Amino acid sequence: METQHKLQEREVQLKKMDLRFTYPILFCTLILMNYGGVDAAKNLQEKSSSSSSVYNHKHQSNGTDAEKKTESAQIGLFTMDELLSFRVGTKLPIFFPIRNLSLYPPLFLPENFAKIIPFSTKEAAAVFDLFSVPPVSRRGEAFLGTLITCEESIEGENKICATSLESMIGFVEKAFGPEVDFEFVTTTHPTITTPIIQSYTVLEAPLEIRSAKKVACHPFPYFYAVYFCHSDPNYGTKAFKVRLVAESTGDEVEAVVVCHLDSKSLRSDHLVFRMLGIEKGGSFCHVFRQGDIVWIQKTSPLAAM
């Protein structure tokens, strides 16, 4: 009973973030009627050869150090020293996108239905056919990229691609351990209606979110809600909240920033090295976007830096 009560609490929390956990009965009926396992991953991958992991972005920048600093700020990438230097009045050119719901649906499937739907490259053709989405399309390539990424292993990191609320919460509970209550924090910008690059002013110095253990979850593009959740068993991360206001539009943002204290596990060509000019193994921070969440121990205090 207690476990069920906690699950209901998590659902209420996530609904406040505009996630909905119902799906039309007709949809579920279609799944049961049309499901067929088809081993066509190779064919789909050949057609969608440009598909890639959400984390495998290539970014070329051959400008000056000042230009690179501006570009890294625009995509929400900072060194730890830069983040800790933010004070009231600090100005940042930054871009906060609004989530495209055609690529990132806000609907979690009920667990019993999520379990019977194929979620693998080997059976991808059946799902693409069911939803009438061509693999050679923007959506099709993005969705196939999600499947490929979810099947990749990450050395030294625990991960899951959660296709239901129950699977997400189960992963978080395992990461935190027994008898640990938790909640999530996320970037909020309720007043942004038109995503543009604009200058933001820092309203408060970064506040550290103190939680020994953290689990980050990122929405991945797919036919229904899928969250890539991962935890660092060595707990080599710090999380912060930064309050900002846009100079031109007055848009207010409470941004969550996560800092990785060690970059040794990243590929040598990763954008953080090119954009920030840090050495392999150095720390880096990135702003969480709309929909990204960090699960933390409940009632974790905030500490001014």
Q: Which pLDDT belongs to residue 40?
A: 36
Dihedrals phi, psi of 189, to nearest 5 degrees = -150, 75
pLDDT score for 69: 54
Q: How confident is the model at residue 3 (pLDDT cuts 50, 70, 90)?
A: low
State how far the Cα of 18 lies from the Cα of 145, in Å rounded to an integer: 25
What's the whole-number average pLDDT of the chain? 78
Q: What is the pLDDT of residues 230-261, one digit of tens each?
A: 987 776 899 999 999 998 889 899 999 999 98
* pTM, rounded to two decimals: 0.76
Mean pLDDT for 209-237 is 90
285: region left, alpha or beta (phi > 0 left; psi from -120 to 50 alpha): beta
User: Domain coordinates of the chain in residue numbers?
Assistant: 2-304
Highest mean pLDDT (candidates 93-97, 104-108, 183-187)? 183-187
Give mean pLDDT, residues 141-155: 89
> What are the percentages of helix, strand and coil residues in the chain, rounded to 5?
30, 25, 45
Please, which residues have CB within 8 angstroms of residue 103's CB and are 6 or more apart in sequence?
138, 139, 142, 221
State how far the Cα of 165 lies from the Cα of 162, in Å rounded to an integer.
7
Amino acid, res. 8: Q
Place of tokens 């820092």: 202
Question: Per residue in 257-285, pLDDT tens?
Answer: 999 988 887 888 888 888 888 888 889 99
pLDDT for the residue numbered 276? 87
Number of H helices, E strands in the chain: 10, 13
Confidence band for 4, pLDDT divided at 50, 70 and 90: low
What span, in angstroms and rounded, lies between the C-alpha atoms of 146 and 151? 9
Task: Supply the pLDDT for residue 54.
Answer: 31
Answer whether residue 184 shows pLDDT above 90.
Answer: yes
pLDDT-derived band at 12 (thresholds 50, 70, 90) equals: low
Q: What residues are paired with 296 via a beta bridge?
A: 183, 214
Residue pair 251/192 in contact (Cβ under 8 Å)? The answer is yes
In which band, very low, low, confident or very high, does the pLDDT at 30 lie, cut at 50, 70 and 90?
very low
pLDDT 10s digits, 36-46: 333 333 343 33
Query: Where is average pLDDT lowest: 22-26, 114-118, 135-139, 208-212?
Result: 22-26
Q: Does the pLDDT of residue 26 top 50, yes or no?
A: no
pLDDT level of residue 228 (50, 70, 90 thresholds): very high
Q: Is 299 left (phi over 0), alpha (psi -120 to 50) or beta?
A: left
| Residue 147 CB-half CA count within 13 A | 26
